[in-house]
Amino acid sequence: MAKKPRFFSPQKKPARPLPAQAEATIEKFSHDMRGIARVGGKTVFVDNALPGENVRFRYTERRAKFDEGAATEILRPAGERCEPRCPHVALCGGCSLQHLAPAAQIAEKQQILVDQLARFGEIEVPEVLPPLVAEPFGYRRKARIGIRWLKKRSGKNPPGLLFGFREKRSNDLTDIGECHVLHLQVAEQIPRLKQLVTDSDGRANFSQLEVAVGEDHAAVVLRHLKPLTDADRGRWQGFAADTGIHLYLQPGDAGTAHRVWPGEGGEERLHYALPEFDLTLAFHPLDFIQVNFAINRQMVGRAVALLDPQPGERVLDLFCGLGNFTLPLALRAGAVVGVEGEGALTERAEENAARNGLDNVEFHAADLTRDIAAQPWARGGFDRILLDPPRNGALEVVRQLARFGAKRIVYVSCNPATLARDAGELAALGYQLASAGVMDMFPHTSHVESMAVFNRVS
């Protein structure tokens, strides 16, 4: 009996290893301002690369539909390229655009805003407002610096201290020795702060250092997971006394933060001014504030001018925080209602209203992602409305704004995609976009802060 022929499956050839590096021409920016190239028919997002440039880059991530990389050599630079000030820009996620001239950064952000409104909101911008700009370095007055003490080697990091910001698209820390966007009062203390952590007995139990700089004082808030030794407390208080930087310790959640220098007790506040309105606002070092005071002053002035409240009118300020817009509006309008999701901030806003002698403003804490119809403050009408929501926008409350009958709405945004989405909702409610523009609140980053004005037409 003849043997049956044996069949063998053809062996698959081993996949050819993909190159670690490649060359490409950058076609355009992505929405997060990385260079976009096509290599072998596949999209690659390349850090530190500008449109029009020829670059050599290394792959940092392989995915099914796209790859990611970082430029290692600029073969043909764009005219807008400039030399970064900071030696940590390749890794540090605090800045991603120091290689692009500041004027080109804000021009690109303006275009992103216009494109997003057209793409997601199907809205053209009738009037593009001039961008708000200021000094692009040393502007940042709030920051969170991570602290990790490594007892043994971890990945690419040797034993010792990691003190800095998160790496780009990673939870790992970039160890920094300097920072050019932090306010100088804190930035110049980075080497000393690193040494202070290294010398501390409890360094393995430190998780972060929150920094805040007012126009009167700077403060640092040390988050520690175990009680400080007497020696450590003395070290940190000595640093504070020597530098004049206020020292807070935070053993638990935000509510446990307390000032230990200068002296326990007293008003635990920093301050900033809005000179155009002759206002001074107080804040706790852990409060949310706008990190760029120079842009904030311009932003508040523009928002009040565009909303144009009249004496006798009622104004609603949603996501009001500690009263950054509410109090200036109260100087122009008959009455202002500020609403915020976080009760601690509405308490701070009430403090600020009293501090500045304003009695025509009231504040309420409410979840603005839910139905607001039953809220007492929502039962009346409003002539004008201002919104300053977080990155995820204000979709739920925007859908409820028609009940108030406001003739004008000013929307302050930190995410052009959600602004565009919400603008589409406002259009469906009978509001037409009149103008929009960007603000350079975060130079050298891909964050796009903007403002848009909507008028009721039906």
d(CA 315, CA 336) in angstroms, rounded, equals: 5
Instruction: Give residue 169's pLDDT.
Output: 85
Mean pLDDT of 434-455: 97
Given a cut of 80, whether residue 19 has pLDDT beyond it is no
Q: How confident is the model at residue 60 (pLDDT cuts 50, 70, 90)?
A: very high
Q: Known catalytic residue: 414?
A: yes
pLDDT per residue as tens digits for the range 260-304: 999 866 789 999 999 999 999 999 999 999 999 999 999 999 999
- Ordered by where they begin, the domains of the chain are 21-81 (2.40.50.140), 111-135+292-456 (3.40.50.150), 142-270 (2.40.50.1070)
Helix (H, G, I), strand (E, B) or coil at 224: strand
Instruction: Give residue 1's pLDDT.
Output: 45
CA dist list (Å): 146 to 97, 172, 262, 447:
21, 9, 24, 21
d(CA 53, CA 55) in angstroms, rounded, equals: 6
Mean pLDDT of 111-126: 93
- 8 against 445, higher pLDDT: 445
Mean pLDDT check: name the lowest of 7-16, 366-375, 390-399, 445-454: 7-16
Mean pLDDT of 311-319: 98
d(CA 270, CA 142) in angstroms, rounded, equals: 12
**One-letter amino acid of 173:** L
Average pLDDT, the chain: 93
d(CA 434, CA 348) in angstroms, rounded, equals: 33
Given a cut of 60, whether residue 13 has pLDDT beyond it is no
Mean pLDDT of 394-418: 96
Instruction: Give residue 443's pLDDT.
Output: 97
Residue identified by tokens 């600020």 is: 352
pLDDT per residue as tens digits for the range 352-364: 999 999 999 999 9
Instruction: Give residue 154's pLDDT.
Output: 72
Exactly one of 92, 95, 179, 414 is catalytic; name it: 414
pLDDT per residue as tens digits for the range 95-109: 999 999 999 999 999
Contact 404, 313 (CB under 8 A): no
Instruction: Give residue 6's pLDDT.
Output: 46
pLDDT per residue as tens digits for the range 189-209: 999 999 999 999 999 999 999
Mean pLDDT of 36-41: 95
d(CA 341, CA 322) in angstroms, rounded, equals: 11
Given a cut of 70, whether residue 8 has pLDDT beyond it is no
Q: What percent of the chain has pLDDT over 90?
A: 88
Instruction: Give residue 4's pLDDT.
Output: 47
Q: Please give the model's pTM, rounded to 2 decimal places.
A: 0.92
Smallest Cα–Cα separation from 385: which of 445, 441, 426? 426
Residue identified by tokens 């300053």 is: 388
Smallest Cα–Cα separation from 385: which of 437, 324, 453? 453
pLDDT per residue as tens digits for the range 256-266: 999 999 986 67
Q: How confident is the model at residue 37 (pLDDT cuts 50, 70, 90)?
A: very high
Instruction: Give residue 97's pLDDT.
Output: 96
Instruction: Give residue 18's pLDDT.
Output: 58
Given a cut of 70, whether residue 71 has pLDDT beyond it is yes
Instruction: Give residue 151's pLDDT.
Output: 87
128's CB contacts (< 8 A; 6+ apart) are 110, 114, 435, 436, 437
Orientation of helix 416-428 relative to helix 102-120, angle to 10°: 40
- Diameter over CA atoms, the chain: 109
Given a cut of 70, whether residue 9 has pLDDT beyond it is no
